[in-house]
Amino acid sequence: MTGPILTENIFFHEPSLQLKVVKRDPELPFRLHSHEFNELVIVTRGAGTHFSKNGEFQLGEGSVFFILPGVQHGYKDVQDLALYNILIGETMLAHNFLDLSEIPGFNSFFKADETIPTLLLNPTQLSEVIPILENMEKESNDQSFGSGSKTLAYSYLLNLIVLLSRFYDETPRENNQMAHRLWNVMAFMEKNKNRSLTTGDLTGIANMSTSTLNRYFKLATGLSPIEFHLHKRIAYACALIQKRGLSITEVAEATGFADPNYFSRQFRKVMDTTPKDYQKIFTSRFN
């Protein structure tokens, strides 16, 4: 079954700048579809499943992939999924900018035929990419005359393309092949922020040994799988505290900590403050 085709005129209202940054927070399930333009997707939070006629893969924080015009794809099983869609007209990548085509990662990632190239950014890399996305979104939406916004938006796009191409080149090929397995693990963690997980739980999902999982996870995120999941649970606890209405004990229980004192120690390890002091920040702002 062929899905709808998203056309260029829906998104590109400025002929000289076929570039649109769309922040989807949250991203909703999206049926199979295609578009007349290129689409670069960067996931900043949550989990979900990306699917196409050639298969599917799990999405998590730091997932990056590139969709060529005409490729059918969609999203399902989304859980608090947030991402940036960078829509790029075909002419925007047609020019031979100096040595851009000489970067191996550019040819492998942005010029791949029939496949959907993928990349997993670690937290440091993602933090470097997000400000570029925010600035590109701001400048591409600026309609004021004579401000140089279109040129600046284009420069941010080139900056992003070079940066991602370098990240792709710096990532060992074997690790690139492991990216989907790591995404599966991260998606599993996202669905289980309300409880602790064992290394055995994660090696089963990844279908790899403990030493291999630890090595590749550390390479991708800078943390061990258990440490990364702890950070996820504490981030979830922060979100619950910010919503207010729950006691610290209730927040601890909701994030899978049976002992509030142990929860407090782990919270302080990650956030460098206690849950109660963190709670005071938000309650004092509204009182």
Instruction: Say which residue the tokens 């851009």 belong to.
Output: 100
pLDDT score of 255:
95
**Superfamily grouping for domain 5-172:** Regulatory protein AraC (2.60.120.280)
What string of DSSP letters covers 251-287? HHHHTT-S-HHHHHHHHHHHHSS-HHHHHHHHHHHT-
> 33-37, 52-56, 134-138, 268-272 — which is least confidently predicted?
52-56
Q: Name the token pair of 239.
A: 């979100």
If you write DSSP's letter for every residue of 223-250 in order, what string do you get? S-HHHHHHHHHHHHHHHHHHH-S--HHH
**pLDDT at residue 115, rounded to an integer:** 77
Pairwise CA distance, residues 64 & 158, whole Å: 16
- Which residue type, as a one-letter code, is found at position 262? Y
Give the pLDDT band (50/70/90) at residue 190. Answer: confident
Distance CA 70, CA 66 (A): 12
Distance CA 202, CA 182 (A): 10
* Least confident piece of the model among 18-27, 54-63, 71-80, 108-117: 108-117
Q: Report CA dihedral (213, 168, 112, 133) to the nearest 10 degrees.
A: 110
Residues 108 and 170: beta-carbon distance below 8 Å: no
Alpha carbon distances (Å) from 18 to 86, 211, 232, 267:
10, 46, 37, 45
**Residue type, position 206, single letter:** A
Q: How far apart are CA 276 and CA 154, in angstroms?
A: 45
So what's the pLDDT on residue 97? Answer: 74
Beta-sheet pairing, 73-88 with 30-35: antiparallel
* pLDDT for 286 beyond 50: no
- Give the number of other Cβ atoms within 10 Å of residue 287's Cβ: 6
Neighbours of 280 (CB within 10 A): 14
Q: Tens digits of per-residue pLDDT, 208-218?
A: 899 999 988 88
Q: Mean pLDDT score of the chain, rounded to an integer?
A: 87
Query: pLDDT exceeding 70 applies to what percent of the chain?
Result: 92
For 194-205, write each residue's pLDDT tens digit: 999 999 999 998
CA-closest candidate to residue 93, choices 19, 10, 12: 19
pTM for the structure as a whole: 0.71
CB 42 within 8 A of CB 64: yes
For the chain, how many residues are written?
A: 287
Query: 192-285, superfamily in CATH?
Result: Homeodomain-like (1.10.10.60)
CA distance 241 to 106: 42
**Which of left, alpha, beta for 149 (phi over 0: left; psi -120 to 50: alpha)?**
alpha
| Domains of the chain, residue spans | 5-172, 192-285
